[in-house]
């Protein structure tokens, strides 16, 4: 989905209007969460979880955009939009959480954006209402599920779809817990994909990352080995 913001400048001879397309995910509830004085949407995402015991609820939208409004104006606008502010969960006047009805909202406003930022950077996330909780992520219709083996599943699925307008890519991500031994997980993905184009393995103190290219897709597997919970994150990227 996109809509147009009209910006203009004038001189003695003429007045010029430039049309800027602002892209958000189809179905993004702009009536519920307006993007105040938006100049550019850097990215927008939607995630669905299998379990509902999260602070923001089971499913949520996230968006990063740049606004021509000041930090102060943005803070006032979004605090007025909230029914209540959760002071215990808020950091300061530019980073706060609250509720609209039963939906939790998080807002972070900063001057520290991209080097070519058009204005003030705003990150917003909010849960969807319970009557709109979904079993499947509605943006996964074109997910190429034959590119990465979804192995060693235990629990806690999260399906996230992101469109990044700044870097011109879309990304599908699936995260879940596993109880398989680290050496088994690493050997499995190494054996499956070591022959793929641009295959690379990187290890650090927290786990192992595999990356490779499959046609027009960039594939990524991140295995995190921790004392409490081992996690697998599968991601697939494609240019928009």
Instruction: Please spell the DSSP secondary structure of 121-151, one letter per residue.
Output: EEEEEEEPPGGG--SS-TT-TT--TTSS---
List, edge to edge, every strand of the sheet that includes 197-204.
Answer: 84-86, 95-100, 103-110, 120-127, 59-67, 38-49, 155-164, 169-178, 230-239, 217-224, 207-214, 197-204
Query: If pLDDT is split at 50, 70 and 90, which confidence band does 229 have?
Result: confident
Mean pLDDT, the chain, rounded, equals: 90
Q: What is the mean pLDDT of residues 1-25?
A: 50
Query: If pLDDT is split at 50, 70 and 90, which confidence band does 155 have?
Result: confident
pLDDT tens digits for range 199-224:
999 999 999 999 999 999 999 999 99
Query: If pLDDT is split at 50, 70 and 90, which confidence band does 196 have?
Result: very high
- With DSSP H G I counted as helix, E B as strand and the rest as coil, what are the percentages for the chain, rounded to 5? 10, 50, 40
The H or E element spanning position 72 is helix 71-81
Dihedral sign of CA atoms 193, 197, 202, 206 in order: negative
Residue span(s) of the chain under CATH 3.30.160 come to 155-239
Q: How far apart are CA 21 and CA 6, in angstroms?
A: 9
pLDDT tens digits for range 56-114:
779 999 999 999 999 999 999 999 999 999 999 999 999 999 999 999 999 999 999 99
| Look-up of token digits 């509902």 | 52
Enter the CATH code of domain 155-239. Answer: 3.30.160
């Amino acid at each position: 989905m996109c809509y147009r913001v009209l910006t203009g400048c004038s001189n003695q001879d003429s007045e010029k209007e430039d049309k800027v397309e602002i892209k958000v995910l189809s179905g993004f509830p702009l009536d519920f969460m307006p993007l105040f004085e938006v100049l550019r949407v850097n990215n927008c995402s939607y995630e669905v979880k299998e379990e509902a015991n999260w602070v923001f609820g089971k499913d949520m939208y996230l968006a990063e955009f740049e606004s021509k409004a000041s930090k102060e104006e943005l803070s006032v606008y979004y605090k007025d939009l909230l029914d209540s502010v959760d002071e215990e969960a808020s950091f300061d006047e530019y980073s706060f959480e609250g509720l609209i009805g039963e939906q939790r909202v998080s807002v972070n406003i900063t001057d520290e954006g991209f080097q070519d930022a058009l204005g003030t950077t705003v990150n917003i996330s909010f849960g969807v209402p319970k009557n709109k909780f979904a079993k499947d992520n509605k943006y996964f219709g074109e997910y190429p599920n034959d590119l990465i083996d979804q192995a060693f599943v235990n629990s806690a699925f999260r399906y996230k779809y992101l469109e990044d307008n700044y870097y011109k890519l879309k990304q599908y991500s699936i995260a879940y817990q596993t109880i398989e031994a680290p050496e088994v997980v690493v050997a499995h993905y190494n054996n499956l994909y070591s022959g793929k184009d641009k295959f690379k393995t990187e290890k650090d103190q927290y786990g192992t990352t595999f990356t490779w290219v499959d046609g027009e897709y960039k594939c990524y597997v991140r295995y995190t080995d921790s004392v409490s919970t081992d996690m697998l994150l599968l991601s697939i990227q494609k240019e928009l």
